[in-house]
Copies of this chain bind each other. A is one copy, B any other.
Amino acid sequence: MSTQTAATNDVDLSIIGELAEKIQTEPATAQTTWQARTEWKGGFKSASHVRDHAPILTDEPEALAGANTAPNPVELVLAALGSCLTVGYAAAATGQGIELRSLEVDVKGDLDLHVFLGLREGHAGYGNIEVTTSIDSDADESALQALHEAVIATSPVGHTLEHPIEVRARLTKV
């Protein structure tokens, strides 16, 4: 029976449990570092390399002078939030024995191009971001609502967007 529980939603929570235990005895284990290396491919195209995975391709739509071969960087931010919340829902649902039949996260954001185009000073990024999650599950609505609130409150990408993050940048001429 424990095997069956562990496989709910195809999530094996024992690994997360072991990690959480390890962090409680060795807090430094919780300090993780993540990296990406973006290689310019000409025009507005780029390929971002993460570990040994297939590169993440980006471009701009034709209206923004791109060749429209891939999503653009601001769309990648929305995909990062949607996929981060998905991990959260799958983990939290499994922890509570809630089986998910399907789960979809729609993410939408408004962005004013004035600053990026150099027409105005100020905030070049998203105004606000709207998330709509659709869950198909036998769990009752209050259990799903509690799950939803817990996931939103602990999302690494969600918090990265909601908090001001310091970006330190330097240039090397090669």
Contact = CB atoms under 8 A, between A and B. Distances in A.
B31 A53 contact: no
Q: How many copies does the complex hold?
A: 2
Interface residues of A, number: 122
Contacts of A127: 165
B37 A168 contact: no
Contact of A126 (B124, B165, B174): B165
A167 B125 contact: no
A108 to B, nearest CB: 5
B104 A48 contact: no
Nearest to A49: B79
A32 B108 CA distance: 11
B100 A71 contact: no
Given A78-B34, A82-B37, A166 B162 contact: yes
Nearest to A105: B38
Given A30-B113, A36-B75, A13 B162 contact: no
A62 B135 CA distance: 25
Contacts of A158: 124-125, 167
17 contacts: A32-B110, A34-B108, A34-B109, A35-B78, A35-B109, A36-B106, A46-B83, A50-B78, A51-B61, A72-B83, A73-B157, A74-B84, A115-B159, A123-B159, A125-B159, A125-B165, A160-B161
